Structure 1
Amino acid sequence: MKKSESKRKMALKPFITLLRETKPSYGLLAIAIALSMISTLVSLVIPMFTKNLVDGFSLASVSKLQIAGIAAAFIAQTIAGGISIYLLNYAGQKMVAGLRDRLWRKFLVLPVAYYNDNRTGESVSRMTNDTGIIKTLISEHLASLFTGVISIVGSISVLLFLNWKMTLVLFTVLPLSALILVPLGRQMYKISKGMQDETASFTATLSGVLSEIRLVKSSGAEKKEYEAGKTGIMNLLSFGIREGKISAMISPLVSFVFMMLLVVIIGYGGMQVSSGVLTAGELVAFILYLIQIIMPLTQLTTFFTQIQKAKGASERIIETLAAEEEVYEGQEEANGTEGPISVEGLSFGYKNGKKVLNDVSFQMLPGQVTAIVGPSGGGKTTLFSLLERFYEPQSGLIKLGDKPVSTFSLRSWRKLIGYVSQESPLLAGTIAENLTYGLDRDVSREEMHAAAAMAYADGFIDALPEGYNTDVGERGVKLSGGQRQRIAIARALLRNPKILMLDEATSSLDSQSEAVVQKALSNLMKGRTTIIIAHRLATVVNAEQIIFMEKGQITGMGSHEELLENHELYREFATQQLQMNNLEVQDIKEEAPVLHDKNTSSGRRSAHPRIGRSISES
């Protein structure tokens, strides 16, 4: 018995902890509950008045003052009940708003690793479904706990005073009903917990499919996704039916207990009235008090059913709130720190997996271009994630100058970085909102236009009917890939980063879009320490340093010519590209951006000699 009691308290602990941490307005809750209790206490007086009325059996015996008093009591009860309901609803809404605020803040500071292990839809379910369950408990069912207890205790006390023998009859039935209802409550908890898990999973499926609806349609996967969605729907139906079965047992059982008690009270009470032991008024009062016991019992049953749901919801919310956050504070700011970026003995592996990077070391000098090439799965993107500090290395260091980047505050470090990826993600909103996204300063329209011009985006933006106020659609679907890339480049220009990271920034574009984007990138790269992941030769051939990565290790490092001479796999990489598409090579000769040049007055050098040598040598 002690073990089950301890287990029950442990199950309630997350819920109580969560309520306490939301810092509810205890004063407001106290007023709301007090008003509910006053309303309940008033209702306890009414059966006694009815008793006197029935026993006197004459309206003449009732004074005007008594009628006025009863009317005032009814009005006060109605007003108190209404205000109580409003205050409880207000307190519940405030609490759930505070809880959602905590969750939203938490979601934004959780590391990328968290989202690798948890689907987006499940997080959405935490924010909406689970917090909604807690709100319903507070605003709709909390008062019934206090008022129900008062109504039951008060009614039983009065009944003991009226006729203790008949009251004892009640206690023979009520414990029997409790023996049935308590196990049903436990079943409801298990079902509701399973339903919340299934709801989160179903929400995740919907979010994933609807966010990639173009892929679904282009792949002809509507039927497959329908079946997957239908499985979730049927699982939810199964839980819903099981929940309905429990509810179908609870409600009739409560009604059965009430009717059984009513029959016993009327039968036994009728005998007492006929023998003169009990008056007719006392019998009527007894029945009314019986109703005031049964009705709160029904409310309490609903309350305990709801609290079972809230326990499951609060466990998941607590789990999310307890997840490890990114540490944004640091010993110092990265702004103003100068020097090369050094990667020293860097090793990293994802959760429960083998190492993706193994003892990686290299250095990037200020203002120079470093290109990372190699077969897929070599660890290039993971290296970028570590440079962005999305993950912490398992061993090794990344330094700026002579200081480990882990000593810098996360915000100041990321402010130094401009990132342009293959996908160039945009958020739903206008072009102007996407250009200035994440900036903590006001950007003038002139500054925005200048950045767009340098990114070769001003032409297509000005041609749009609403210009910079054009809505780009969800994830920028209303724009082409090249347009999205140029907006991403303009956004990076507005950030004015010291370090530029380009992740396959042109690999998904057609040759015409690529040529324009390459020109925009050359503007962006001027004077910045740049690190590039690329498969195309035109993107890397002019880099001061090319790093070849295989299976998480660096197998070659040097200039284009040095790697052509000394690294067999790089030579194959270059040869395949040049031989597979000679026309593309001619385009590269004409259009390849000139990344950097220390030997010309313009600060740029021609790419052609290197490409020419690479063709002849290969």
Structure 2
Amino acid sequence: MLGLFLALLGSGMSLATPMVTKWVLDSLGASLSLSGPITALVGLLLVGIVILTWQWIMLGALGERVVLEARESMVRRLLRATIPAVTRRQSGELVTRVTSDTVLLREAASSSVIGLINGAIMLVGTLVLMGVLDLVLLGTTVAAVVVVGLLFATLMPAIAKAQERAQEHVGRVGGRLEGALRAIRTIKVSRAEDRTAERIIDDARVSTKYSIRAVRREAIAWTLAWSGIQLAIILILGVGAWRVSLGVLEVSSLIAFLLYAFALMEPITELSQNLTALQAGIAAAERIRSVDDLEQESSVPAAAGLAAAGAPAILELRDVRAAYSADSEPAVKGVDLVIPRRGHVAIVGPSGAGKTTLFSLILRFLQPQEGEILLDGVPYRELTHEQVRARLAYVEQDTPVVPGTIRDNLLLSHPEAGEDELLKVLHDVRLAEMAGNLDQELSPTSVSGGQRQRIALARALLRTPDVLLLDEATAQLDGLTEAAVHDCIADRASKGAVVTIAHRLSTVIDADTIVVLQDGKVRAQGSHAALLETDELYASLVEALSLAEGKSPAAA
């Protein structure tokens, strides 16, 4: 509102200038003192400079705050969204909405609306003052303005559509490029650099095509507007000179009218520019608003918190059925599973058996379509996502490095952990060499795969969770380090629950209970020895694991 007030005040100064100029000319013709009108002109100039500077700084700061708030809102919603809602979209496209679309929103939110109102008022004010000076010349001017306005109204929607399509393809460029950079090693080994680049550049070319289309239409619109105003000025000059010769119009009035005519381009330009920026901003706002439509994880419990520890199991799945979308085949079908408060449970099965889906359900990345999951005897539906995950820790097989230092990575789950706890957990996972350099920045290339796994395991073991979920946390470790990590897991299993997706024979043998999954169902469960004798699928899996590790099934 203050920006609009300042804009209108500035426009008032501009509208007053031709009238003061007429005052100067009239005083000169009447041999009167010029001190009054000259002082008025200088005053208008100085006040205009102050208003312009104030408005520019204020609206610029406002625009940046709008961008910050939009980015803050989107970042929070993206990180609070459900896993399926985020993974259905290309991450690079979502990043583009946070970085690029918000810049388009800035102009629309800060200055475009003010510019439209101010431009409209200035246009009307200019025409009114022209009417005060001479109604015949005003009619000539209005005819030109109407023609220009109709041309703009015809061309503007096409310009906005072209800009929207261009920005849409910019988002695709971001998505494809982000995915390509994540898979850069695979692309290079496949000698696919040029082919991958072409696919990305295709979207860039399409974006450029639409941008050029918008530029062409803008050029036509501006040329027509400029030509229309220039033609109007020529007509005004001709008609005005004729009316001066008839003695019905003063020369000073004609000059003032011409100054208004020359200035008429400014509000028309302001209107069209701000209308274009507003349309681009509205298109960007629609893409930003789609982030608000992402399904969010629960933050308010449906019932009162966690029950006191006393249920026979820490985790329980009762007849759980789940799929990744409403129209896809269920990945888990009627699973019943009990995870005791202590001990090591290994989950095995062929590819596609539902092992990862089971973890996604326990971690609440995926919601069951049927059945129920209980934590400490309390159904998940009565708990927030945060309450559930506060009792769990998770180590992915392909453990990513979180942006930041070693300390940042370790403190991700428990930011209140002390220095002694960090040093101890690093020692337990055989990363004592990192203890003296906790503030070293990490990147995917600064640590090996085994080190990434051990950092993730150290993070999970910090502050001893009730349930430790491991997606084969020893897959990238050498024999000596694997043995040390197994000792950590065994120690944790003696104090709480450990659930492992097992891909290595050593993990299977060490488990207290082994659950065999097949086609999304629990086929069998028991000890290693018992299953080896009673379950044909388990025996074949063990044989495959043994051959992969160079051992004999009998020795296993």
Superposed CA offset, 1:385-424 (max 9, x none): 1100112110111112432122123212101111112122
Q: Does 1:615 align with 2:554?
A: yes
Unaligned runs of 5+ in 2: none
Q: Does 1:251 align with 2:225?
A: no
Q: Does 1:487 align with 2:455?
A: yes
1:232, distance to aligned residue in structure 2 (A): 2.1
Superposed CA offset, 1:155-213 (max 9, x none): 11111122112211222222222221112110012111111211111111122222333
Q: Does 1:461 align with 2:434?
A: yes
In 2, distance between residues paired with 1:499 and 1:338? 15
Q: Does 1:379 align with 2:354?
A: yes
In 1, distance between residues paired with 2:109 and 2:142? 30
Partner of 1:333: 305
Q: Does 1:310 align with 2:276?
A: no
Partner of 1:271: 242
Partner of 1:114: 85
RMSD value, Cα: 2.0
1:522, distance to aligned residue in structure 2 (A): 3.0
Partner of 2:521: 553
Contact 2:20 2:37 in 1 (8 A): no
1:335, distance to aligned residue in structure 2 (A): 7.7
Partner of 1:412: 387
Contact 1:335 1:412 in 2 (8 A): no
Q: Does 1:167 align with 2:138?
A: yes
Q: Does 1:217 align with 2:185?
A: no
Contact 2:331 2:519 in 1 (8 A): yes
Contact 2:20 2:40 in 1 (8 A): no
The structure-2 alpha-carbon separation of the partners of 1:456 and 1:160, relative to structure 1 and needing over 3 Å to count, comes to same
Amino acid at match of 1:94: R
Partner of 2:374: 399
Superposed CA offset, 1:507-550 (max 9, x none): 24444543443334334433221111112221012322211111
The structure-2 alpha-carbon separation of the partners of 1:525 and 1:484, relative to structure 1 and needing over 3 Å to count, comes to farther
Contact 2:108 2:282 in 1 (8 A): no
Q: Does 1:348 align with 2:346?
A: no
Structure 1 residue corresponding to 2:208, chosen from 222, 237, 246: 237
Contact 1:371 1:533 in 2 (8 A): yes
In 2, distance between residues paired with 1:371 and 1:59? 104
Contact 2:394 2:469 in 1 (8 A): yes
Tell me the SS of whatever aligns to 1:354: coil
Contact 1:578 1:615 in 2 (8 A): no
Structure 1 residue corresponding to 2:445, chosen from 473, 477, 489: 477
Unaligned runs of 5+ in 1: 1-29, 586-613
Q: Does 1:444 align with 2:418?
A: yes
In 1, distance between residues paired with 2:101 and 2:190? 34
In 2, distance between residues paired with 1:38 and 1:162? 22
Partner of 2:158: 187
Tell me the SS of whatever aligns to 2:514: strand
Identical pairs, percent = 28
The structure-2 alpha-carbon separation of the partners of 1:421 and 1:525, relative to structure 1 and needing over 3 Å to count, comes to farther
Q: Does 1:527 align with 2:498?
A: no
Superposed CA offset, 1:1-29 (max 9, x none): xxxxxxxxxxxxxxxxxxxxxxxxxxxxx
The residue correspondences of 1:426-445 to structure 2 (distance < 5 A) are 426-441=401-416, 443-445=417-419
In 2, distance between residues paired with 1:438 and 1:364? 22
Amino acid at match of 1:495: R
The structure-2 alpha-carbon separation of the partners of 1:335 and 1:243, relative to structure 1 and needing over 3 Å to count, comes to farther
Superposed CA offset, 1:315-362 (max 9, x none): 111221132210022123338534302111100111231111111112
Contact 2:81 2:296 in 1 (8 A): yes
Contact 2:310 2:376 in 1 (8 A): yes
Superposed CA offset, 1:244-264 (max 9, x none): 111111111111111111111
In 2, distance between residues paired with 1:54 and 1:223? 70
The structure-2 alpha-carbon separation of the partners of 1:278 and 1:59, relative to structure 1 and needing over 3 Å to count, comes to closer
Tell me the SS of whatever aligns to 2:187: helix
In 2, distance between residues paired with 1:581 and 1:211? 30
Task: Please give the TM-score of this superposition, normalised by the length of structure 2.
Answer: 0.94
Moved more, 513-522 or 544-553: 513-522
Tell me the SS of whatever aligns to 1:526: helix
The residue correspondences of 1:125-140 to structure 2 (distance < 5 A) are 125-140=96-111
Partner of 1:425: 400
Moved more, 142-151 or 545-554: 142-151
Tell me the SS of whatever aligns to 1:363: strand
Amino acid at match of 2:337: F
Partner of 1:568: 536
Contact 2:409 2:459 in 1 (8 A): yes
In 1, distance between residues paired with 2:299 and 2:23? 72
Moved more, 538-547 or 351-360: 538-547
Partner of 1:542: 510
Structure 2 residue corresponding to 1:497, chosen from 465, 469, 476: 465
Contact 1:482 1:514 in 2 (8 A): no
Contact 2:70 2:102 in 1 (8 A): yes
In 2, distance between residues paired with 1:576 and 1:380? 18
In 2, distance between residues paired with 1:284 and 1:128? 49
Partner of 2:37: 66
In 1, distance between residues paired with 2:308 and 2:185? 44
In 1, distance between residues paired with 2:291 and 2:354? 29
Amino acid at match of 2:74: L
The structure-2 alpha-carbon separation of the partners of 1:333 and 1:215, relative to structure 1 and needing over 3 Å to count, comes to farther
Contact 1:53 1:59 in 2 (8 A): no
Contact 1:546 1:557 in 2 (8 A): yes
Partner of 1:514: 482
In 2, distance between residues paired with 1:170 and 1:540? 88
In 1, distance between residues paired with 2:32 and 2:413? 79
Amino acid at match of 1:575: E
Amino acid at match of 1:172: A
Contact 1:347 1:395 in 2 (8 A): yes
